């Protein structure tokens, strides 16, 4: 019975890891759509996100089934509860990618972003992709250091987000109000995406080691 | 044993209802801070939100305890899982109120908003307050019609959000880029707050009736 439980828990964790890898592809695709004003990539990102949402429902159902059939306790129960919570974080990450891709679609054939900000947005995109990859790694291996490193990378994301806002609000900005509003929302979507990866790392670490600090 | 389970589930639902009522007070307080450029109300809203977050942790712990000690199955299990999910929605609602209040604090002693937009923001605030009140009612009574009505009111919120963006992006807007960015984020916070109340209604309804449609 316990072996069966561990097999099923491993399957569930595998589902979460797959969701996270799909989020990584989705944020990479949405960022490419944004930087290249590419409507096909934007549509593709939106499709990926719908898929992540469906995977989230499957993961939730699997977690509930595991609770019903195995009635785990103590740390095993905590791991299933965490899986439930993580499926919500991972589904939300997909939703944020869809928002980014949606902006590309709304402004098409015009670019969302003026050239001077491509560099900052491109770095935010790269940070988000790498954070999603690390979160997937934490899910796969329970690696405490990778989870802790996510928090450091979130500081980089926050700094990029501040740079973006400072640029929009600075005297040299001439991009107009629509673009400023788009960029403010865009910054918020990337920042939230990153927050969720940190949450994935932190919660996974907590259930693996019972602590939110690296050992 | 089953009676004990129902008592504890009722307590847990009561905790969620209290969180939701606290969110209602927090969004009312944050909106007042915003409309009156009142730093004390802003600080008070931020304190309320910290309290909601702590309540969320308590609710989560109570749900895990219930799963551990009572090992519920079928619809009873689904209700505890829903309670876990709702505690995350309700905590996030508090976080969004803190973001609104944070904007007031950041711009103080200046108002966040120019006078022509007070009416729209005031209506968004009123809609959010009433949606939180309805969500608390759904939690307290499992009222399917109140849950369904939340979706209709969310359409009103979406329309107000569009009005706000159209105003900022329209030719008559003269408020400057900082204010445009603040208002775009503000609109997003209210809209997300409303989305969470709809989610609370929908999930509660689903566990009460097994359907997301009113009977």
pLDDT number for residue A210: 59
Other C-beta atoms closer than 10 Å to the C-beta of B118 total: 13
Which own/partner pairs from B129-133 qualify as long-range (CB within 8 Å, at least 24 positions apart)?
A: B129/B24, B129/B27, B129/B28, B129/B31, B131/B157, B131/B193, B131/B194, B131/B197, B131/B198, B132/B20, B132/B21, B132/B23, B132/B24, B132/B27, B132/B93, B132/B193, B132/B197, B133/B21, B133/B24
- Measured CA to CA, the distance from residue A14 to residue A8 in angstroms comes to 10
Residue of B38, B157, B51, B53 whose CA lies nearest to B101: B38
Q: How many CA atoms lie within 13 A of B184 on its CB side?
A: 24
Number of C-beta neighbours around residue A119 at 10 A: 11
Closest-CA residue to A198 (of A152, A151, A160): A151
Q: Where are the domains of chain A?
A: 2-209
Tell me A108's DSSP state: T
- Interchain contact, A168 vs B181, CB within 8 Å: yes
| pLDDT reported for residue A66 | 95
Phi, psi for residue B38 in degrees, rounded to 5:
-110, 105
Give the distance from residue B103's alpha carbon to the nearest chain A alpha carbon, in angstroms.
Answer: 14
DSSP for residue B110: S
Q: Is A1 on the interface with B (CB under 8 A)?
A: no
Q: Are A65 and A139 in contact (CB under 8 A)?
A: no
Can you tell me which residue has the tokens 């910290």? B50
- Per-residue confidence (pLDDT) for residue B161, from 0 to 100: 96
- Dihedral sign from CA coordinates of B85, B87, B91, B96: positive
The pair of structure tokens assigned to A13 is 């964790």
d(CA A149, CA A145): 6
- Chain A residues whose CB is inside 8 A of the B184 CB are 181, 184-185
Chain A residues with CB under 8 Å of B180 CB are 177, 180-181
Interface test with A, best of B67, B178, B179, B212 (most A CBs within 10 A): B67
What gap in Å lies between CA B65 and CA B52, rounded to an integer?
Answer: 20
Distances (CA, A) of A43 to A25, A30, B74: 13, 9, 39
pLDDT tens profile A152-180 = 999 999 999 999 999 999 988 988 899 99
Q: Does B177 touch chain A (CB under 8 A)?
A: yes
Question: What is the model's pLDDT at position B48?
Answer: 97
* Assembly ipTM: 0.90
Which of A64, A173, A178 lies closest to B81 in CB terms?
Answer: A64
The tokens 């009522």 sit on which residue? B21
Q: Could you tell me which chain A residue has the CA closest to the CA of B74?
A: A68
Q: Please list the pLDDT of chain B residue by residue as tens digits (215 residues).
A: 568 899 999 999 999 999 999 999 999 999 999 999 999 999 999 999 999 999 999 999 999 999 999 999 999 999 999 999 999 999 999 999 999 999 999 999 999 988 889 999 999 999 999 999 999 999 999 888 888 889 999 999 999 999 999 999 998 898 889 999 999 999 999 999 999 999 999 999 888 765 554 43
Q: How far apart are CA A183 and CA A195, in angstroms?
A: 18
A81–B68 C-beta distance less than 8 A? no
Between chains, do B177 and A173 touch, taking CB under 8 Å as contact? Answer: yes
**Per-residue pLDDT tens over the stretch A10-28:** 999 999 999 999 999 999 9
Residue B84 to residue A88, Cβ atoms within 8 A: no
Which of A81, A83, A166 to probe by mutation at the B interface, max B CB count within 10 Å?
A81
| Partner residue opposite A180 with nearest CB, options B84, B88, B180 | B180
pLDDT given for residue A215 in this prediction: 39
Give the domain B2-209 fold: Methane Monooxygenase Hydroxylase; Chain G, domain 1 (1.20.58)
| pLDDT above 60 (res A214) | no
B169 to chain A: which residues are within 8 Å by CB?
Answer: 177-178, 181
CB A76 within 8 A of CB A2: no
Rg (CA), chain A: 19
Work out the mean pLDDT of chain A and round it to a whole number.
Answer: 93
Element (H, E) at A145: helix A144-169
CB A49 within 8 A of CB B58: no
Q: What is the pLDDT of residues A119-147, one digit of tens each?
A: 999 999 999 999 999 999 999 998 888 88
Residue A111 carries which DSSP code?
Answer: -
Query: What pLDDT, on a 0 to 100 scale, did the predictor assign at position B214?
Result: 44
> Which residues does chain B have within 8 Å of residue A181's beta carbon, measured at their own beta carbons?
165, 168-169, 180-181, 184
């Amino acid at each position: 019975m316990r072996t069966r439980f561990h097999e099923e828990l491993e399957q569930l964790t595998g589902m979460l890891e797959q969701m996270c890898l799909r989020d990584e592809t989705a944020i990479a695709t949405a960022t490419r759509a944004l930087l290249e004003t590419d409507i096909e990539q934007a549509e593709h990102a939106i499709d990926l996100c719908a898929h992540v949402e469906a995977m989230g429902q499957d993961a939730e159902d699997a977690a509930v089934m595991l609770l019903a059939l195995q009635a785990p306790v103590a740390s095993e129960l905590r791991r299933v509860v965490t899986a439930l919570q993580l499926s919500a974080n991972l589904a939300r990450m997909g939703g944020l990618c869809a928002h980014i891709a949606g902006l590309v679609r709304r402004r098409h054939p015009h670019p969302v972003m003026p050239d001077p900000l491509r560099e900052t947005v491109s770095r935010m995109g790269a940070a988000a992709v790498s954070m999603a990859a690390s979160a997937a790694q934490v899910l796969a291996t329970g690696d405490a250091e990778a989870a802790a490193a996510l928090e450091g990378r979130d500081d980089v994301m926050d700094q990029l987000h501040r740079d973006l806002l400072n640029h929009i609000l600075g005297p040299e900005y001439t991009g107009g109000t629509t673009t400023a509003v788009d960029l403010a929302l865009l910054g918020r979507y990337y920042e939230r995406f990153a927050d969720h990866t940190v949450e994935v790392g932190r919660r996974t670490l907590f259930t693996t080691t019972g602590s939110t600090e690296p050992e």
